[in-house]
Structure 1
Amino acid sequence: MSALPDPGATRAVLIGTSHYDHLEPLPAVSNNLTALAAALAEPSSWGLPPEHCLTLSNPTSAEMTMAAVRAAAEQARDTVLVYFAGHGLVDPKNDLYLALPQSRQQRVETGLSYRWLRQALLTSRAERCVVVLDCCYSGLALGSMGGPADLADQASVEGTFLLAAAAETRPALAPPGESFTAFTGELLNTLQAGIPYGPELLEFGALYRHMRISLAAKGRPAPQARDRNTGAQLALGRNPAYLPATGSIPPAGKNRASERSWPSPSGVRTVTGFFKALSDVRVTSGLTHQLVSQRSGGRVSAGTVSRLLNRESLPRTWQTTATYLSACGVPDAQVAEWQAVWMRLLAETATEAAARPAVPRPSQGHNPTLMARLAGRLSRRNGRS
């Protein structure tokens, strides 16, 4: 079953090397990082808070890079994503390593061994891991590796979806005059334009198939993919080409809301994820805030809908949320599932609040306001004297 991850329990690390001391520079990589971070923050994608998406541009050492990856792997409970753009190199044993600014050919100690990255992800608490490799390969860098398919074998990670660019030459990876590398540019374009006649959510499996056809049609190397468990069903965003038209209420008898694939609350782990999923419900319904209000029979106003979807803390009562879900068209059975998740999060929030140490209040004998008043009175008396 396809799903968007809970942004409150998801982490992403975007790594890119555009400047090299000993290899060809790849200036488009800097644009890759900026644009991809912005895309992951979009509500139509993962809606990641800035603190959950770390960008490492031209990291100076493998140690600092691995520290960031390990931290993300430890913090994520839903999904952890690691993206790398830059040169990919091959060591004398035909193992993949990712090039950092001071990397050299055939010297794995100057770069980031993929084995280290793989091991860090294998120990993650996250249920799902995604690796996206936008690596540049020349014939010399490929060495004795048989071809792009071997990259997926080298970089396979249990429980993840691996999406790998198999660029053969520098121009193919970073075409002159284009803002992004070929692979990441196609990925960003698909997120923005969608897949015509594609699924409601841009699952990684669907993304891979679409990008493979699109890049091949442009004469560029086709990407490779490796799916472990259900990684291909994880979605990177909503499909803009699938979204229903908004602005009108379907006539009576022609509301097919029950046939829609509504966002499921089953994967919600945090309050942030709860409100992200609630917003996705409205997007799926194709209704504006005003139309949701109309469908509720005036029980919730458009302003109430807006305030509900922009809250940072859970509402203390359930009625408004239930009315909103029903007005969007969510079936009653699924509304009950939402209520169960709301009750669980409410209980967890209360438990966390009770576990926090109380902030000690200043004793009256050391009240700074009282001391200031006494000092002022004494000063005035001395002045009169």
Structure 2
Amino acid sequence: MFPDPGASRAVLIGTSAYDFLEDLPAVSNNLTSLAELLTGPTSWSLSRDDCVVLSNPPSATAAMNSLRDAGATARDTLLVYYSGHGLVTPDGELYLGLPQSKQQRVETGIPYSWLRAALLEGRAERTVVILDCCYGGLALGTMGPSELAAQADVEGTYLLAAASENRQALAPPGESHTAFTGELLAILTTGIPGGPERLDLDSIFRELRKSLSAKGRPVPQGRERNSNGRLALGWNPVFSRTPMPSNPIDRDGDHRAWPDPASILTVEGFFNALRQVRVTSALTHTAISHRSGGQIATGTVGSLLNRKDLPRTWRTTGVYLTACGLPDGQLSDWQSCWERLRSALSAGNVPEPDKSQDQGVKNRVSSSWGRTFRKLAGRRPSD
């Protein structure tokens, strides 16, 4: 399942330049690449404002303010990522390095206990924590990877920890990204052959362990709470689907991973899920129009998927979902979701999407959606 992008947030923190520790220039690339992925159509489709990037934050206070703001507004999923030096005190307390951090001086970094407390105070239903950090200096070897994962554990959170054993393994010379994040990005952009349609956290974790181990690099650690391992970070570009027949499908035997309307919290999430339906169906806009028996035109399909405001009537959406091959038993759930959002809008409980975006930007985004999803579908069905 994908989170609702309108009710989810990401905070990406990275320190690449240090006054007293070795610089990690690859961390800057980590932040840029991960932000592009999370705001793109093949992953969570977060808005730029909802994916906060903190590169070389000046203080723990600055980082914690952004983290708490995100935790207070995220109702679906909150993702927190850190890349840089992970340090430990003589008492074994983990703290995350900042530009002026020093060894064994927890006050010079972000104590993980602070981050932990902020996560527990947040409103998000699910939390994902990704720690791409090493210990550095005298801390090397003082804490095993499993102990790092245990210290970072938070109830209700899925944790991915690189837990690298030495600095060089974390940021290999000549590579654009650190070892752990580079492998994570590679999995999300090239996919997992034979893997699921959606790249969920459990599948990504297994692939990370396998691929990094094969390269002789530190094996990451993972912890799961509340079945968050089924949460998807992206579509699998190399997912293989049996071609759909030209005749109407047997919906009773349809076991494809359709989006769950029960997880939709916002209007933005509603349209994001509608676009996921099209990807799952592997149909072009023209093919959907054809399968609707001409009830909706090709242009109407595109207009529906690129809307920002919730349709005032159900008919077009219902025809679209049926033409995509959604099982009949799920249509009522989708209509209930639409009715719930309409009622919330009438009551003023759901903010209307921002319609002030530049038209050129919207056109580029729409074009990008089409190109990317055609690639993900792996084929162009005949009309």
**Aligned-residue CA RMSD in angstroms?**
1.8
2:181 is aligned with 1:215:
no
Residue 249 of structure 1: CA displacement? 5.4
Aligned to 2:120: 122
Structure 1 segments, 4+ long, off by >6 Å, are: 353-356
Residue 348 of structure 2 aligns to a residue in which SS? helix
Alpha carbons of 1:249 and 1:355: their partners in 2 closer, same or farther (altered >3 Å)? closer
Structure 2 residue 319 is matched with structure 1 residue 323: yes
Aligned equivalent of 2:288: 292
Residue in structure 2 matched with residue 167 of structure 1 by the alignment? 164
1:336 counterpart residue number: 332
Map Cα deviations across residues 51-77 of structure 1 (whole Å, 9 max, x no partner): 110000000000010001111111000
Q: Identify the residue that residue 197 of structure 1 maps to in structure 2.
A: 194
Q: Distance in 2 between matches of 1:340 and 1:150?
A: 45
- Corresponding letter in the other structure for 1:17: T
Larger radius of gyration: 1
Alignment of 1:213-252 (within 5 A): 213-242=210-239, 244=241, 250-252=245-247
**Paired AA for residue 346 in structure 1:** R
Deviation at 1:172, TM superposition (A): 1.0
Q: How many residues align?
A: 351
Cα distance, 1:171 vs structure 2? 2.1
Answering whether residue 251 of structure 2 is matched by residue 271 of structure 1, we say: no
Letter of the structure 2 residue corresponding to residue 313 of structure 1: D
Q: Which sections of structure 2, spanning at least 5 residues, go unmatched?
A: 353-383
Tell me if 1:58 matches 2:56: yes
| Whole-angstrom CA distance in 2 between matches of 1:353 and 1:151 | 41
Match among 106, 127, 131 for residue 108 of structure 1 = 106
Name the counterpart of 1:345. Answer: 341
Report percent identity of matched pairs. 59
Question: Structure 1 regions of 5+ residues with no counterpart?
Answer: 357-385
Range 117-126 or range 132-141, more displaced: 132-141
Conserved 8 A contact 2:267-2:341: yes
Query: Cα 1:296–1:174, aligned 2, differ >3 Å: closer, same or farther?
Result: same
SS of residue paired to 1:167:
coil
- For 1:166, what is the secondary structure of its paired residue? coil
Deviation digits for residues 175-222 of structure 1, max 9, x if unmatched? 111111110011111111111111221111111111000000011111
TM-score, structure 2 normalization: 0.88
| Partner SS, residue 259 of structure 1 | coil
- Hey, what's the Cα distance between the residues in 2 that align with 1:209 and 1:351? 44
Which of 142, 147, 150 is 1:150 aligned to?
147
Contact 2:141 2:165 in 1 (8 A): no
Q: Is the 8 A contact 1:41 1:48 kept in 2?
A: yes
What code does the residue aligned with 1:137 have?
A: Y
Contact 1:90 1:142 in 2 (8 A): no
Q: Does the CA-based 8 Å contact 1:94-1:143 persist in structure 2? A: no
Q: Report the secondary structure of 1:184's partner residue.
A: helix
Output the amino acid matched with 1:324.
Y
Q: Are 1:43 and 2:41 an aligned pair?
A: yes
Give how far 1:243 is off.
5.1
AA of the residue aligned to 1:189: A
Tell me how far 1:42 sits from its aligned partner.
1.5
Secondary structure of the residue that 1:199 maps to in structure 2?
A: coil
Instruction: Mark the CA change 1:353 to 1:254 in structure 2 (over 3 Å): closer, same or farther.
Output: closer
Q: Mean Cα displacement is larger for which, 163-172 or 236-245?
A: 236-245
